[in-house]
Structure 1
Amino acid sequence: MSEPSDEQAAMQHYLVCGSDDCQKNGQFYCNSCHRPLCEQCRDEHKKSPNTKNHEIVLYRHRKHQLPVEVCQDHPTRNKDMFCRECSMPLCSKCSTMKEHKGHAFDDLEDIYADKYALWQGEFSKIQKYFLPTTQDLKTDIEEDAKKIKKIMESIRTSMKAEAESLKTLVDKVTSENIEYTHTMEKSLLKMLKSQETTYDDYITYLGKMSDEFQEYLSTTNQKLLFKSNTLKIQTIPETTKPVPPVFTAGQFNKNDITKLLGRVNVPNTKKENRKIQPMEAESMHMISTEKQSEQSKEKSDMKQTLSLSSSVTKVREYSVPGIDSTCHVSVDKSGRLWVSDNKGNLVQIDLQGNQLQKIQTSNFLTTGFHTATQGGDLIYTDNEKKVIYRITSDKTITEFIKTEDWEPLSVHSSCISGDILVGMTYFEEAKVSRYSKTGKEIQKIQRDNKGQELYSFPIYITGSISGDICTSDWNKEAVVVVNKSGQHRFSYRGQGSKFLPWGICTDVLGHILVCDYVSESVHLLDQDGRFLFIILSTQQGIKSPCGVCVNDENNLYVGQFTKTVTVYKYLR
């Protein structure tokens, strides 16, 4: 069976020590024996004369064991050497043969371990960078397609509206022109009717004149003819012919209509390449194998140099405007504070205590509902809307995660993996969900190995340097701690008869710091839940501590049931 990867190993309950009859957590590894060791067995291993020179490292920094391959020329031996000149693996007996005389040899296991780490790193890059980045680009393309469809539909709607507007104008102008022809026709016909009446009157006149001439010409009246003056006939009245109107057709073509209605053009701008996040941006996509080693070394070095101070020193104090109490504190990478009260008010202040922005949420009586991310953003929940939002440095607020029917109460962004931990409830149920940096749910934690509910009302949540998930559960009156795979490790129930945990955080040494509402103090626990001492109480001048946070400089920020956030030094 193949050896589990580092991530698969981390998801197990724990690695069992390889020593006989030892069932403790094998967090170390002997590269010589190729077996995990617990801390006690490691110390014994170093003391033993037979194994004191063995190389022992943290399990995640182990050398991977060379697969067994029998030498074809010497079946009783395994290939465990590598000939540089011939570039081939061979067994120790092959190295003594004359064809390899004078050649330089390397330990095949070292070469295998290096190659394994190299290919493991490349595989990790695919899983943690190339694949997520490509999927993000594909999602970006899908969003662009939706956007293009929406824009084109809007353009078509505008085109139809323009056409309808032009049609209305055409109909109006045509109607007015037709009405004008009726008016012109009526005027011309009236004129012609008048002329017709003129000629009717003249015809009547001519009739009378004809009768009069006939009378003069009759034989009975010849005497009258000679006696009368000659009758004169009136001239024919003159009339004018009407000038008929002429219709002049409009002079236009398709281009004229296009100008009237407009046209669709692609802007003459340079196409913008899609932004591919560089591989070095671990906060966005991956933490490389080399970076993990550096971080582990830095944290290991820090553990060696840091220790608990004999006293707690007050560093500074902030008075936060716009809120009634400082129930929860998040410090972003620039050192600015996000502070919230129990009425849903969320305020950001700068290093001088000036308010930068204020957000009203519906998180009434919900306290640990925001967290700063590796990249400098802030994530906060809104339990009424059942949505988790993200605020970027330019103050843009976007919808990040929908929790469906579950009400998100508390949230924490891991400074190591970037994963998002969310404590939430649904009627009488409660759970913790883990989301990736992109908002995809990757883990649900709700019950222990016996099927019992782990949580009831997780109002604060945090993660430890070892990957443990620590929650303050108000209803269970306990700090509930599970490991990375969701297995219950322990529950801390305080030191007195009554314990109500509030704000919770961890530090680089693995300590757990939790506020107790009853004793108005901050308890300090080790990473296994053992109570060490009360680090802060009312004797240090704090009033009902309810929110705690440790920043990158190992300063402890304490929020209280006042408008004050106090900063302390407790490590040296």
Structure 2
Amino acid sequence: MHPRRSAQDVLLCDFCETAPLQSHCKLCHINLCVICVGKHLSDSSKDHNVVPFIKHIKSTSNYPKCPKHAEKHCEMFCEKCAIPVCSTCVTSGEHEGHKFSDVLKKISSKTESLQKDLEELETRIHPRYEEMASDVQTEKAELETKYGKLTTAADQQGELLHREITAIVNKRKSDIAEMKNKHLAALNKNTDEITNRITELRQIIQDLKKILDSNDVSLTSSYKSRNSEFRTLPSKVRVTLPSFSPQKINKDQLNEMFGSLPPLSINTEHGDTMKSAEAVSSPPVKPLLDEPRITATIDTGYGRYELRSVSCLSEDQVWTRGDNKTMMLLNLQSELLTSIKTKSGNTPRDIAVTRDGDLVYTDYHDKTVNLIKNKQIQTVITLQGWIPFRQGWRPLNVCCTAANNLLVTMESDDETQSKVVRYSGSKEKQSIQFDDQGRPLYSSGYYKYLSENRNLDICVADCDARAVVVVNQSGKLRFRYTGHPSNTKQPFDPVGITTDSQSHILTADNDRIHILDQDGQFLRYILCGLEDPSGLCVDIRDNLFVAEYRTAKVKKIQYL
């Protein structure tokens, strides 16, 4: 039995420790009897807030139980000891001179920190490790080809020297094979290191999710972040591939003249330390060029007035789609690298490239959004057809977000409504259709190009409304841009839209492109003699790619 309780289990005053308690001072965290309330309030050196003890008990129902004093709730958090404590713990002298804070605020702050750690691990750190592992696997896959070229060069030189240099040829091939094995061994070791770190990362992510799901105060309080440890990426093996240098044949110096093969150079570079999410949020400033310039032109092979969309796979490769069922991957030399036909045989409504480099396309007539991975088409979203008393929807344009979600503009089956829907995989996460007053954000038209800005705003080029409509991440309207005020000759017809690392918004309009800042202020036009620009995209170096509807060409433009 508790030493301060009687046989009837009566709680006693913390002040006199003899009379039953009836009140509680919320500011001093002390229980008081009727007599001691007056004494406590007479101390005018501090503020007091005395309430009936029953009311205090009800108000503390959300606080965790004290592990040392079963009848108490932990209303405070000891900053020095990093543990929740009750009023008895505080007055016991064990925490004398320590600083205290509200435990619920502390746990809330700690939980928020856990959420941020989990998000960084899942969305930034873990994907980089996976990317590194993939790069090493790719390098391993190319070993046979690269070293095969060296072997072929050695064979060709050996055939010229016939029997006199057979022994030397074999020696050089043996050296190459040994180098390849060392190269492969180094990459295998690097792979094992990265794989082990990935396994550890996955375990940490799993443990964090368990902590968050359990609501266990002890586990949450004792959690210590290891994110800084994993921001320093594993060491990356850099191997300098040797080159074969054939020489003119001289029998007196056969060994030297055959060609040298330097030893394999295997160096381990220390892994880069990833910047925290906060540091990454501020990219280096890139001023606008006074005169933007076209740096490349791609002939897509589509006919005039057929090219509709372009999406960057890399700095020198772009996906295109036109008014037929075939989507084409082209390089800057206008060479066709890959072509994919839609699964349904319909013309794709729009295309986008995911953060993993896969192609996504929408099928307006089939009511689907499809993912192309390794040339295999997988339907990830299927919209329902018309149901009595319920509106059906069709997908229009699509973009991939920084969090690897999909944003899709949609039109209702009766062509009277439009909205933007966010998907995580095939699961709908958010629908954006109306403003705070319940008015439609978007017109009912067919053309709704969209892009996510760096600040996570959702930017829609609503051609039928003659406006760029920008909402924040939660779907709240930020602004509408309806064209430069000085232009009264031509109507504003925004068709394509994209954003860059500076949070600029770029939208195509007639034969020019408007550049806006993230708050909708007009900055500059890009002209460059463009002819009906429609689809737009920006690569990782902020080069702009423009799909010209009239000429069926894609133009690469430097404007920063």
Match in the other structure for 2:522: 531
SS in 2 for 1:309: coil
Kindly provide the CA deviation profile for residues 385-426 of structure 1, in whole angstroms up to 9, marking residues without a partner as x.
Answer: 22211101x111111211234232211111345233333342
- Determine if the alignment matches structure 1 residue 319 to structure 2 residue 299: yes
Task: For 1:424 and 1:412, locate their aligned partners in 2 and report how far apart those are by CA, in whole Å.
Answer: 16
One-letter amino acid of the structure 1 residue matched with residue 110 of structure 2: K
- Determine if the alignment matches structure 1 residue 547 to structure 2 residue 535: yes
Kindly provide the CA deviation profile for residues 316-368 of structure 1, in whole angstroms up to 9, marking residues without a partner as x.
Answer: 22222355454211112585311122445421124543212324459999886
One-letter amino acid of the structure 2 residue matched with residue 503 of structure 1: G
Task: For 2:99 and 2:475, locate their aligned partners in 1 and report how far apart those are by CA, in whole Å.
Answer: 47
Distance change >3 Å, CA 375–CA 126, structure 1 → 2: closer
SS in 1 for 2:439: coil
Matches within 5 A, 1:198-213: none
- Determine if the alignment matches structure 1 residue 120 to structure 2 residue 115: yes
Task: For 1:80 and 1:443, locate their aligned partners in 2 and report how far apart those are by CA, in whole Å.
Answer: 38
Task: For 2:122 and 2:556, locate their aligned partners in 1 and report how far apart those are by CA, in whole Å.
Answer: 40
The one of 430, 438, 448 aligned to 1:443? 430
Count of matched residue pairs: 345
Give the Å deviation of 1:370.
0.7
One-letter amino acid of the structure 1 residue matched with residue 427 of structure 2: K
One-letter amino acid of the structure 1 residue matched with residue 298 of structure 2: Y
One-letter amino acid of the structure 2 residue matched with residue 379 of structure 1: V
- Determine if the alignment matches structure 1 residue 357 to structure 2 residue 338: yes
Distance change >3 Å, CA 88–CA 491, structure 1 → 2: closer
Structure 2 unaligned segments of length 5 or more: list them. Answer: 1-25, 33-39, 41-46, 50-74, 125-198, 213-224, 232-273, 386-392
Distance change >3 Å, CA 384–CA 419, structure 1 → 2: closer
The answer to whether the 8 A contact 1:456-1:473 is kept is no
Matches within 5 A, 1:488-567: 488-495=477-484, 496-497=487-488, 498-517=491-510, 520-534=511-525, 536-537=526-527, 540-561=528-549, 562-567=551-556
> Under a length normalisation based on structure 2, what TM-score does the superposition of the two structures give?
0.52
SS in 1 for 2:424: coil
Distance change >3 Å, CA 443–CA 350, structure 1 → 2: same
Kindly provide the CA deviation profile for residues 17-42 of structure 1, in whole angstroms up to 9, marking residues without a partner as x.
Answer: xxxxxxxxxxxxxxxxxxxxxxxxxx
Matches within 5 A, 1:140-151: none
One-letter amino acid of the structure 1 residue matched with residue 311 of structure 2: S
Give the Å deviation of 1:296.
3.8
Match in the other structure for 1:306: 286
Match in the other structure for 1:391: 372
The answer to whether the 8 A contact 2:362-2:370 is kept is yes
Match in the other structure for 1:420: 407
The one of 278, 283, 287 aligned to 1:297? 278
Give the Å deviation of 1:108.
8.1
Task: For 2:307 and 2:80, locate their aligned partners in 1 and report how far apart those are by CA, in whole Å.
Answer: 66
Matches within 5 A, 1:281-296: 294=275, 296=277
Task: For 2:423 and 2:474, locate their aligned partners in 1 and report how far apart those are by CA, in whole Å.
Answer: 15
The answer to whether the 8 A contact 2:358-2:372 is kept is yes
One-letter amino acid of the structure 2 residue matched with residue 82 of structure 1: C
Kindly provide the CA deviation profile for residues 445-489 of structure 1, in whole angstroms up to 9, marking residues without a partner as x.
Answer: 333344433222233121222222222223222222223333333
- Determine if the alignment matches structure 1 residue 476 to structure 2 residue 465: yes
Task: For 2:362 and 2:419, locate their aligned partners in 1 and report how far apart those are by CA, in whole Å.
Answer: 14
SS in 2 for 1:120: helix
Distance change >3 Å, CA 71–CA 313, structure 1 → 2: farther
Task: For 1:467 and 1:440, locate their aligned partners in 2 and report how far apart those are by CA, in whole Å.
Answer: 20
The answer to whether the 8 A contact 1:326-1:341 is kept is yes
Match in the other structure for 1:35: none
Match in the other structure for 1:332: 313
Distance change >3 Å, CA 83–CA 478, structure 1 → 2: closer
Kindly provide the CA deviation profile for residues 216-263 of structure 1, in whole angstroms up to 9, marking residues without a partner as x.
Answer: xxxxxxxxxxxxxxxxxxxxxxxxxxxxxxxxxxxxxxxxxxxxxxxx
SS in 2 for 1:494: coil
The one of 444, 452, 455 aligned to 1:456? 444
> Under a length normalisation based on structure 1, what TM-score does the superposition of the two structures give?
0.51
Q: Choose 1 or 2 for highest CA Rg.
A: 1
- Determine if the alignment matches structure 1 residue 486 to structure 2 residue 491: no
The answer to whether the 8 A contact 1:333-1:374 is kept is no
Task: For 1:365 and 1:515, locate their aligned partners in 2 and report how far apart those are by CA, in whole Å.
Answer: 26
The answer to whether the 8 A contact 2:497-2:535 is kept is yes
The answer to whether the 8 A contact 1:423-1:461 is kept is no
Task: For 1:83 and 1:532, locate their aligned partners in 2 and report how far apart those are by CA, in whole Å.
Answer: 50
Task: For 2:123 and 2:508, locate their aligned partners in 1 and report how far apart those are by CA, in whole Å.
Answer: 36
One-letter amino acid of the structure 1 residue matched with residue 444 of structure 2: S
Task: For 1:122 and 1:297, locate their aligned partners in 2 and report how far apart those are by CA, in whole Å.
Answer: 12
Distance change >3 Å, CA 381–CA 87, structure 1 → 2: closer
Task: For 2:394 and 2:200, locate their aligned partners in 1 and report how far apart those are by CA, in whole Å.
Answer: 33
Larger mean CA deviation between 432-441 and 362-371 belongs to 362-371
The answer to whether the 8 A contact 2:396-2:410 is kept is yes
One-letter amino acid of the structure 2 residue matched with residue 486 of structure 1: G
Task: For 2:452 and 2:465, locate their aligned partners in 1 and report how far apart those are by CA, in whole Å.
Answer: 19
Distance change >3 Å, CA 399–CA 316, structure 1 → 2: same
Distance change >3 Å, CA 98–CA 389, structure 1 → 2: closer
- Determine if the alignment matches structure 1 residue 410 to structure 2 residue 397: yes
Give the Å deviation of 1:87.
5.8
The answer to whether the 8 A contact 1:347-1:359 is kept is yes
Kindly provide the CA deviation profile for residues 507-532 of structure 1, in whole angstroms up to 9, marking residues without a partner as x.
Answer: 22222111112xx1001112222222
- Determine if the alignment matches structure 1 residue 82 to structure 2 residue 62: no
The answer to whether the 8 A contact 1:388-1:400 is kept is yes
Q: Which runs of 4+ in 1 moved over 4 A?
A: 73-81, 83-91, 97-101, 103-114, 121-129, 276-282, 288-295, 322-325, 360-368
The answer to whether the 8 A contact 1:323-1:345 is kept is no
The answer to whether the 8 A contact 1:474-1:502 is kept is yes
Q: Percent of counterpart pairs with the same letter?
A: 26
SS in 2 for 1:429: coil
Distance change >3 Å, CA 334–CA 116, structure 1 → 2: same
Distance change >3 Å, CA 408–CA 113, structure 1 → 2: closer
Task: For 1:489 and 1:533, locate their aligned partners in 2 and report how far apart those are by CA, in whole Å.
Answer: 21
Distance change >3 Å, CA 444–CA 120, structure 1 → 2: closer
Distance change >3 Å, CA 500–CA 556, structure 1 → 2: same
Match in the other structure for 2:129: none
Task: For 1:460 and 1:363, locate their aligned partners in 2 and report how far apart those are by CA, in whole Å.
Answer: 23
